[in-house]
Structure 1
Amino acid sequence: MKRFWIGVFVVVIAGAAGLFAYAWKPAIDPVEPPQRSAFDQALIEKGAVLASVGNCTSCHTKPSDKSFAGGLAVPTPFGTIYSTNITPDPETGIGRWSQAAFTRAMREGVDRAGNHLYPAFPYDHFTLVSDEDNSALYAYLMTRRPVNKRPPANELPFPLNVRLVLAGWKLLFFDKGSYQTVASQSAEWNRGAYLVNGLGHCGACHTPRNMLGAEKAGSHLAGGEAEGWTAFALDASTTAPLPWTHDSLFAYLRRGWHTEHGVANGPMGEVTGNLGRLPDADISAMATYIASQMGEPSPRRVTKAQEIRKKLSTDAGAIPIPVSATAATPSGRGAVIYQAACATCHDGSRPQPFGGMDFHLSSAVNAPGPQNVINTVLFGLPAASGRQSAIMPGFAATLSDDQVTDLLAYLREAFAGQPAWPDATERLAATRNGKYQVSVRPSDGIERGPDNVGAQDR
């Protein structure tokens, strides 16, 4: 028996030693912050475009603060993580990081000092980025204005505040390695897959996650949650009333709106705003890849789309009234609210993006859950700064919870032909009290985009 327990002890010690050996990463020697003259201007400009694609400023800039100085609170189911300072400040930023240290962070999720990074920094996607693009990103970030600012400490419970634990997460869920071309697909498809799955990290929002915060295997782009919003499915399970096509995806990603699919709202407004620096060829490649993930619509969806188009052409401007709607039902009361607060824009003749969309076309109204409709009703769509943009007022201060619930019931029944969402009341209350920490941004999403190439940060 004694030998048995000695054997168990040896196995445990050996296992712990093996796990530590796997988890431990050496520090990379610091360097002197490189001078701007060390980088080619064309490389810096390329890096600026790539930083936009990766939405680097979105996470690493706190609103009204200096660009890339970090400190933005990123809520997760496990606690709050604060983004890091990625300016070239030598003390609090990445000024003493060599390019090798930067590439390791992108490829392996390990910082210069050898600490494992939390996957709120989406290195499970950034690992796909090529050496050439990492060099451009490094050149761009190292030529920003240094900001001496240390972000707050993360607010995570034990043992999640011990970074070695992340090695176990990586062992389970992280596949390291740059993008590998799929030989059976076209060059455009591969370029789109590289952008969508790499720097674009679209799956970080549009893929559901398991209880440990990793993207669910086999559910790529099947829909997820981000910043209090539902990120709709980009695969065959899409609930868009009219099927997406390459051309509609291209227009939506290029302009932030499409006549048949509405205006980008929430975090997606920032995404489409930041994609503005990409050339049309890259946007087309992304559309090609996403369209391939959605596949050809089923005959049933094609038939339904034809019915919707016919209804829109014959019932233009008419306010639909569900059969069950009476003054005593939620949808009946909601119809009155809709006519008073919504119909002027959403049943008017002003075209998008400045006019409201017909809700027969709304992915949000047809979605399994009400979250995006709730967010839009409460918070609206703020105007962009210094330019024309889509705009919608929020009704949080003018409509009570009961009125919003009635309005949701009407929208769901009148435009999607489905019963009211059963969890609408609870989600509405949770949104009002801040549980979901909803982000609200202008439709163009560019108010926090990277600074102009060659200019110093404001």
Structure 2
Amino acid sequence: MLRHFLLALIVLVAVVFSVYWWLTTPSSAIAMAAHTPNLANGQEIFNAGGCASCHAVPKQEDRLRLGGGLAIGSPFGTFYAPNISPDPTDGIGRWSEADFVHAVMRGVSPDGSHYFPAFPYTTYAHAKLTDLQDLFAYLKTLPPVSGGSREHDIRFPFNIRRNIGVWKLLFFDAKPFAPDPAHSAQWNRGAYLVNAFGHCAECHSPRNALGGIIASQRFAGGPDPEGHGFVPNITERGLSDWSESDLSYFLETGQTPDGDSAGGSMAAVIRNISQLSKNDRAAITDYIKSLPPVQGPPKPPKKSDS
């Protein structure tokens, strides 16, 4: 009887492991077509995506030196932004275009392993393939930077990359962006930039215990994922007192209507958005100001001085 029980247990474990292995196998198949890169568009996408915010070498002024190294805090540990310069040894200089597209749109590395979703491929997945191809061509024009960043410092079991396959099943929607014919071309451009390369929801939305965005409170603000304060609500619940010109001016200068200025990680975001064309900033403004009011999580009470 005991032998039969042990045999059944072994079979059950083997079946469960096989299902786990099958479900968590990285999938990155994207049909690639020949494309003549548009470097000007690649630069615009670079700025819209905020690539320099995370990947520029910290504590130096050149935002085009993409040697990585920035520490990114989270409830699961600390991630370190990798080198995405064209360096052939430490960066992405030996990557193919397909390697780059699969990494950015599917979160799969050239060696076939999952990337942690601290890399916002969950949002970049909605991008146009041609924009990714233009971005890759633009990145190849930037200076190579030697030196790799350190390994992530993530707690067990969150450090097991294979488990990201389960996370993707729960939270990763790779459907491409679809324009809404009920809105203008400008609004749709803004919706695309905000919901694809701008990845605004990644910071401006609360998350559940597994790090997935709470869909019903998308854009409604919440605790800073890096543990530094509270990220504001950017639906009309939080921006009802801002006019479109207020928001447009903020995206260009970082100055708020009450005379304050963007700080923390948002200051770096503004440095990127300010590089966008006036039309693209207007499109982002148009879309964000159309977001219906959503109540986000309550802010924690301020600590009183004792």
| 1:96-144 CA-partner distances (Å, limit 9, x unpaired) | 1111111111111111111111111111111111111101110111222
Residue 178 of structure 1 deviates from its aligned partner by 2.1
Q: How high is the TM-score relative to the length of structure 1?
A: 0.59
Q: How far apart, CA to CA, are the structure 1 residues paired with 2:134 and 2:103?
A: 15
2-structure distance, mates of 1:174, 1:129? 14
Q: Note closer, same or farther for the CA distance 1:368–1:216 as it changes in structure 2 (3 Å cut).
A: closer
Equivalent of 1:91, from 89, 101, 107?
Answer: 89
1:60 is matched with which residue?
A: 55
Shift of 1:49: 2.0
- Structure 1 position 11, deviation (Å): 4.3
Aligned-pair RMSD on alpha carbons? 2.8
1:364 matched to which residue of 2? none
Give the aligned partner of residue 287 of structure 1: 285
Are residues 5 and 275 of structure 1, via their aligned partners in 2, closer, same or farther at CA, if it must alter by over 3 Å?
same
- Please give the per-residue CA displacement for 1:50-71, whole angstroms capped at 9, x wherever unaligned: 1111111111123235711111
Q: How does 1:255-404 map to 2 (within 5 A)?
A: 255-260=253-258, 262-294=260-292, 369=299
Q: Say which SS state the counterpart of residue 53 (structure 2) adopts.
A: helix
Residue of structure 2 aligned with 1:45, choices 40, 44, 47: 40
Conserved 8 A contact 1:256-1:263: yes
Q: Secondary structure at the match of 2:285?
A: helix
1:295 shift after superposition: 5.2
- Counterpart amino acid of residue 25 in structure 1: P
1-side partners of 2:209 and 2:21: how far apart?
24
What are the superposed Cα offsets for residues 234-287 of structure 1, whole Å, 9 maximum, x if unpaired? 12431x5x6223232222212322434742222222222211222222111111
Percent identical pairs in the alignment equals: 36
Amino acid in the other structure paired with 2:233: A
Match of 1:157 in 2: 155
- Cα pair 2:27 2:108 within 8 Å, conserved: no
For 2:8 and 2:172, locate their aligned partners in 1 and report how far apart those are by CA, in whole Å. Answer: 32
Distance 2:75 2:104 in 1: 23
Question: Would you say 1:232 and 2:112 are equivalent positions?
Answer: no
Q: Tell me the alpha carbon deviations over residues 209-255 of structure 1, each in whole angstroms, 9 at most, x when there is no partner.
A: 111112112111010233414221012431x5x62232322222123
- Partner SS state of residue 218, structure 1: helix
Larger RCO (CA within 8 A; separation ≥ 6): 2
SS at match of 1:287: helix
Q: What is the CA distance between 1:162 and its match in structure 2?
A: 1.7
Structure 1 residue runs without a partner (length 5+): 29-38, 297-366, 371-420, 427-458
What is the 5 A alignment of 1:240-255?
Answer: 243-255=241-253
Following superposition, the deviation at residue 3 of structure 1 comes to 6.3
Q: Give the unaligned 5+ runs of structure 2.
A: 30-34
Contact 1:248 1:258 in 2 (8 A): yes
Paired residues, number? 293
SS of the residue corresponding to residue 293 of structure 1 reads coil
Say which one has the larger Rg: 1
Whole-angstrom distance in 2 between the partners of 1:155 and 1:208 = 23
Which residue of the partner structure matches residue 78 of structure 1?
76
Q: 1:183 to 1:424 in 2, by over 3 A?
A: farther
Q: Which residue of 1 aligns with 2:16?
A: 15
Aligned partners of 2:178 and 2:28: how far apart in 1?
28
Contact 2:23 2:166 (8 Å CA) reproduced:
no
SS of 2:155's equivalent in the other structure is coil
Q: Is the Cα contact below 8 Å between 1:106 and 1:127 reproduced in 2?
A: yes
- State the SS of the aligned residue for 2:115: coil
Task: Find the aligned partners of 2:41 and 2:304 in 1 and give their Cα distance.
Answer: 45
Deviations 1:322-345 (A, max 9, x none): xxxxxxxxxxxxxxxxxxxxxxxx
